[in-house]
Amino acid sequence: MNFTLRVWRQKDSVSRGELVEYKIQDVSEDSSFLEMLDILSENLVEDGKMPMAFDYDCREGICGMCSLTIDGIPHGPESGTTACQLHMRHFKDGQTITIEPWRAKPFPVVKDLIVDRSPLDKIIQSGGFITTRAGSATDANTHLIDKGTADYAMDAAACIGCGACVAACPNASAMLFTSAKVAHMNSLPQGKPEKHRRALAMVSTMDGEGFGGCTNIGECEAACPKNISLDVIAHLNRDYAIAQVKNFFKPSA
């Protein structure tokens, strides 16, 4: 297959970027999108040019490192798929494809297609954990957790932290990401003691890092490669509201 690629090139975080056009030929339809970019990189290297910088690691859709906006859609047109699991057979021979980094203010471009997603880590650091020390745990079957709750927590915990939800959101909100973690931990008995602290702290960090507010547009759910449902946002909103009220009456909570 042959393609025309329009790829975002940007030397570093302070330089101006632009879309540069490349032709690529003889790509196998079994190649993944990133393997197609590997081939382009090798071609560029052969010409003595700098290959594109883009993030990737596991290439099996689980590490969350890859972060390409393909024809305007984070992770491309296939639903429930990361860019690394997207195969070229889903494109038309001769097609022009535009490849950009995540576009969101809290994720500045570092180089070409690489952005800085450390604000997501900061949200987790502020409350996305259950306080426990190695060695302090009780027997694993002490808390019985009904299957429905365990499944619900697992659905939310499937988030890979790629940031596609932020990139897809017109407000660059990180609500789906933040809510997924809150829903996962707040629904489990182990996570209950810190339920309110967690909701307040993570939302506060999210706001502080410059992510926008959520206006229930739903682009995040559509872009999520792990099909995380908007329901988790309702979960966070509920827990957050209760936490705010409790906080109002008892500021030390």
Partner 1 sequence: MNLDAKIPEGPLAQKWASHKFNMKLVNPSNRRKYSVIVVGSGLAGGAAAASLAEQGYNVSCFCYQDSPRRAHSIAAQGGINASKNYQNDGDSVHRLFYDTVKGGDYRAREANVYRLAEVSSDIIDQCVANGVPFAREYGGLLANRSFGGAQVSRTFYARGQTGQQLLLGAYSALSRQIGLGKVKMYNRHEMLDLVKVDGHAKGIIVRNMVTGEVTSHAADCVVIATGGYGNVFFLSTNAQGCNVTAAYRAHKQGAGFANPCYTQIHPTCIPVHGDKQSKLTLMSESLRNDGRIWAPKLAEDALKIRNGVLDPNSLSDDNRDYFLERKYPSFGNLAPRDISSRAAKEACDEGRGVASTGLGVFLDFRDAIQREGKKAIEERYGNLFDMYQCITGDNPYVTPMMIFPAVHYTMGGLWVDYNLESTIPGMFVGGEANFSDHGANRLGASALMQGLSDGYFVLPYTVGNYLGEQGVHSAGKVTNEHQAFAEAENRVKARIDKLQSINGSESPRSFHKRLGNIIWEYCGMARSEEGLTTAIEKIKELRKDFWSNLRVVGEAGNINPELERAGRVADFIEFGELMCRDALMREESCGGHFRIEHQTEEGEALRDDENFTFTGVWEYMGDDIDPRLHKEELIYENVKLATRSYK
Q: Which residues, 97 to 116, sit near partner 1 by CB under 8 A?
A: 110-111, 114, 116
Q: Which pairing describes strands 69-70 and 73-74: parallel, antiparallel, or unpaired?
A: antiparallel
> Phi and psi at residue 85, in whole multiples of 5°?
-105, 5
Question: In angstroms, rounded to a whole number, what is the distance separating the alpha carbons of residues 219 and 170?
Answer: 8
Residues 194 and 236 sit within 8 Å (Cβ to Cβ) = no
Contact between 3 and partner 1 by CB under 8 A: the answer reads no
Q: What does the angle CA 78 – CA 80 – CA 82 come to, to the nearest 5 degrees?
A: 75
Q: What is the CA radius of gyration of the chain?
A: 21
The CB-of-216 to partner 1 minimum distance in angstroms stands at: 26
Question: In the window 36-75, what residues touch partner 1 (CB under 8 A)?
Answer: 38-39, 41-42, 44-46, 48-51, 53, 55-60, 62-65
Identity of the residue, 188 or 224, whose beta carbon is nearer to partner 1 in the bound complex: 188
Identity of the residue, 182 or 243, whose beta carbon is nearer to partner 1 in the bound complex: 182
Per-position x/- string for 210-229, each x denoting binding to partner 1 as judged by CB under 8 A, each - no binding: --------------------
The CB-of-23 to partner 1 minimum distance in angstroms stands at: 16
Question: In the window 4-33, what residues touch partner 1 (CB under 8 A)?
Answer: 11-12, 27-32
Question: In angstroms, rounded to a whole number, what is the distance separating the alpha carbons of residues 118 and 121?
Answer: 5
Question: In the window 144-203, what residues touch partner 1 (CB under 8 A)?
Answer: 144-147, 150, 153-154, 157-158, 160-161, 184-185, 188, 190-191
Question: In angstroms, rounded to a whole number, what is the distance separating the alpha carbons of residues 5 and 94?
Answer: 10
Closest by Cα among 90, 86, 62 to 74: 86
Contact between 126 and partner 1 by CB under 8 A: the answer reads yes
Of these, 14, 16, 25, 141, which contacts partner 1 (CB under 8 A)?
141
What separation in angstroms does the CA of 249 have from each of 105, 193, 202, 235?
35, 18, 20, 22
Identity of the residue, 27 or 233, whose beta carbon is nearer to partner 1 in the bound complex: 27
Of these, 3, 83, 85, 91, which contacts partner 1 (CB under 8 A)?
85
Supply the DSSP symbol for 32: B
The CB-of-249 to partner 1 minimum distance in angstroms stands at: 27
